[in-house]
A = this chain, B = another copy of it.
Amino acid sequence: TILVLLVQGLGLTAVILVAVWMGHFREGFAWQSKPSLEFNYHPVFMVIGLVFLYADAILAYRVFRNVKKIYIKVIHAVIHVGALMFAAVGLKAVFDSHNLATKQIPNLYSLHSWLGLATVILFGLQWLGGFLTYLFPGMNTGMRRMMMPFHVFFGMMIFLMAVGSALTGIMEKATFLSAPIEYSSLPPEGILLNCLGLCLVALAAVVIYIMTR
């Protein structure tokens, strides 16, 4: 349970750091009226959905030990729906920020964007697979048991891919800013975003530790 608290603490810290980065240093948020500020929702929503909520959905089975199994399953599935919704809005924000900009920016050119899109697609498939196998219509017990190691393995891989996407995204944004902030002189914004990255790595380590216990 101290480990579960650690995950919550690191997850919340990551959400706060990314929100401060975008809200304070990157001049806050707007929707389609200002595509350059619409971008700022992207990092925040991806971290909330694909890191914070995702981790909590995984932990649900460890936290609610004495709740009926079917309830935990529904909690697990519903938190994952929440994660998917945040991810969808976060992607909408970044695509808008490219397509609605006065000087259009191409889509899907970077390693970050390829890795990120693969992560979201696999996440969607995993959700569908989990739903069909364990909730509705639900397979027989033998099949469920056979699928479980794969469900857990892919769940872990996709989580790691989400963290990897976040790290490459942070790195990309950091170097975009090279001119205005001079990343290499390590200004407050640079320190903040480095700490955000390390926080995500620490979070991933604790989640994997709990999962492989």
Residues of A at the B interface (CB closer than 8 Å) are 105-106, 109-112, 114-115, 118, 153, 156-157, 160-161, 163-164, 167-168, 170-172, 174-176, 178, 183-186, 190, 193-194, 197-198, 201, 204-205, 208-209, 212
Contacts and interface: CB of A to CB of B under 8 A. Distances in A.
Interface of A (DSSP majority class):
helix
Nearest to A211: B212
A178 B176 CA distance: 9
A43 to B, nearest CB: 13
Contacts of A168: 167-168, 170-171, 197
A165 B188 CA distance: 22
Contact of A156 (B114, B170, B208): B208
Nearest to A196: B111
